Homo-oligomer: A and B are copies of this chain.
Amino acid sequence: MLDKPGLERLSRALNPQVVAVIGATKEPDRVGYSILESLLLGGYPGQILPIHPHHKVILGQKVYPSLDEAGLPVDLAILALNERASIEALDDCGRHEVKGAICVAGGYGEVGQEGAALQAELVAAAARNNILLVGPNTLGLINSRTHLNATFWPVTLKDGGVISAVSQSGGMGQLISFKMQQEGLTFNKWVGVGNRAMLDFEDFLQVLDQDLTTEVIAVFMEGTERARGFFELAGSIVERKPVVLMKAGRSESTQRFALTHTGSMAGSYRVYQDVADQFGVLMVDSIPEMVGVTKALSMAPPAPGTRVAILTPTAGPSIVMVDLLLDRGCTLAEFSPETMAAFEQRFVRVPVVLKNPLDASAVGYKAESYLDLAELILRDPGVDLLIALNIDHKNRVFPAEELVRLARRYGKPVLVCFIGPTDGASGLRDVCQAGGIPFYFSLEEAAWGAAGLVRRYLTLERLGVRHG
């Protein structure tokens, strides 16, 4: 946990005016090249100081032989050096007012005793120079809001996201990012905590808690020796914004393996699950579930209860969805007598069984009657959330814009589950999602999204927080 000056320093490092890349290089397959390229591709608008003893220009950027020659105070230093050179560089950083440093090198705590000793040296060097250290053994971090891509993963950045992610694994963090992209989402901040030698989950949780543009926090964790601190902090943040956690290592074998990755104990999965529930942290089983849940939480209005209704033109998928919903804390809404009477008027000569899920069959094929039924359901005071299921069909229109207006009018969460081509229907998805309707191409992800909203409702109820 950081004190106030520490938080300010970290905040400055995450919103830097000057970034140094120590160990920038011309070879495209090395991290010292990719880091510089990442800063440029990300569109970082501040001053970049590539540092290398011999090179003059890399990627069109003037290179300085040392921080001394560059002659500017540095907010963030990214160390593209091996595990020993990284330690030496920190003293140099200290002389140039560096506030934060990212150490990407591996070969520390994750590779045994010798590495652990090196890691202790690294931390000592950072501490004596008053530098907040990210990593080591990390991909780096990203702030899309300020177009800072401080990783060795050269990607462009899109502004506007409200979901921020903290990952103990770079690869899992990248998986979160690619899955979000596939789902039409952009992330706000992205941090790889690596070995967490100095800065840990809690420090970044603090930053993201204070960050007004972050509305949902997603965490991928292999394990931590300071689980109590993590959950206490996360549990207090949950009152303000949801924290969604994926924890690796359900099986014993996995736990043995994780021990030698980021040097952390994986811990008992079951214990994490119980504690997460207790503190209102939404635990998920997979990245698709994490992204499904964060999508719903970042987009839809809060659910006013647990009662879910499903409208569908076809029964099968809704049966499978009910399974998934009941497994995760949702209940099935029962339609009021008024709603049932209204349904009966719509299905005079159509042989269907009127219940929830409402399989409207052919009546559900036409946009107008589908919307009419959706409105009857949303109007029912016994319904807290509607999943609008539909199927792509050449001769039918899915009324995305009208559904957005309808959802707005009733203020309840509406989620769309669309059985269709992910490429061909991405336009429909974007219309829905821009209008506050999370849109899914899979039954599981739609159900997870709905359950995320319901779990959030239950958490806030339990904590006694005013919401809705």
| Residue positions of A touching B, CB distance < 8 A | 28-29, 31, 33-34, 37, 41, 83, 106-107, 110-112, 115, 153-155, 167-175, 178-179, 181-182, 220, 222, 248-251, 253-254, 257-258, 260-262, 286-288, 312-320, 322-323, 326-327, 332, 350-353, 355, 357, 359, 361-362, 365-366, 391-396, 419-423, 441-444
Q: List 28 A-B contacts (CB under 8 A).
A: A29-B395, A106-B361, A111-B351, A115-B351, A154-B393, A171-B316, A171-B391, A172-B320, A173-B316, A175-B317, A175-B419, A178-B392, A178-B441, A179-B442, A181-B421, A182-B441, A222-B316, A250-B323, A251-B327, A253-B322, A253-B326, A257-B322, A258-B319, A260-B355, A261-B316, A286-B443, A286-B444, A287-B443
Chain B residues near A393 (CB-CB < 8 A): 34, 153-154
How many copies of the polypeptide does the oligomer hold?
Answer: 2
Q: How far is A249 from B317 in the complex, measured between Cα atoms in Å?
A: 11
Minimum C-beta distance from A42 to chain B (A): 12
Who on chain B is nearest to A83 by CB? Answer: B351
Chain B residues near A419 (CB-CB < 8 A): 171, 174-175, 178
Structural contact, A316 and B443, CB atoms closer than 8 A = no
Chain B residues near A171 (CB-CB < 8 A): 312-317, 391, 419
Structural contact, A288 and B178, CB atoms closer than 8 A = no
Structural contact, A288 and B444, CB atoms closer than 8 A = yes
Contact of A421 among B172, B182, B326, B332 (CB under 8 A): B182
Contact of A154 among B155, B315, B352, B394 (CB under 8 A): B394
Minimum C-beta distance from A369 to chain B (A): 11
Who on chain B is nearest to A153 by CB? Answer: B393
Structural contact, A353 and B29, CB atoms closer than 8 A = no
Chain B residues near A288 (CB-CB < 8 A): 442, 444
Who on chain B is nearest to A285 by CB? Answer: B444
Known: A355-B257, A361-B106. Is A366-B29 also a contact (CB below 8 A)? yes
Q: How far is A442 from B319 in the complex, measured between Cα atoms in Å?
A: 25
Chain B residues near A168 (CB-CB < 8 A): 316
Chain B residues near A320 (CB-CB < 8 A): 172, 248, 286
Known: A171-B419, A317-B172. Is A323-B254 also a contact (CB below 8 A)? yes
Q: How far is A312 from B351 in the complex, measured between Cα atoms in Å?
A: 55
The 10 closest A-B pairs by CB, nearest first: A169-B316, A171-B314, A107-B351, A261-B315, A172-B316, A111-B351, A171-B317, A260-B353, A154-B394, A28-B395
Chain B residues near A29 (CB-CB < 8 A): 365-366, 395-396
Q: How far is A250 from B315 in the complex, measured between Cα atoms in Å?
A: 16
Chain B residues near A351 (CB-CB < 8 A): 83, 106-107, 111, 115
Q: How far is A197 from B440 in the complex, measured between Cα atoms in Å?
A: 34
Q: Besides A174-B391, A251-B327, 9 other CB < 8 A contacts? A: A29-B365, A29-B396, A153-B393, A167-B316, A169-B314, A171-B312, A171-B419, A178-B421, A257-B315
Q: How far is A177 from B345 in the complex, measured between Cα atoms in Å?
A: 35
Minimum C-beta distance from A320 to chain B (A): 5
Chain B residues near A220 (CB-CB < 8 A): 316
Contact of A34 among B111, B316, B395 (CB under 8 A): B395
Chain B residues near A169 (CB-CB < 8 A): 314-317, 319
Q: How far is A288 from B72 in the complex, measured between Cα atoms in Å?
A: 53
Minimum C-beta distance from A357 to chain B (A): 7
Who on chain B is nearest to A444 by CB? Answer: B286
Contact of A395 among B37, B175, B312 (CB under 8 A): B37
Minimum C-beta distance from A163 to chain B (A): 18
Structural contact, B248 and A316, CB atoms closer than 8 A = yes
Q: How far is A261 from B49 in the complex, measured between Cα atoms in Å?
A: 66
Structural contact, A423 and B423, CB atoms closer than 8 A = yes
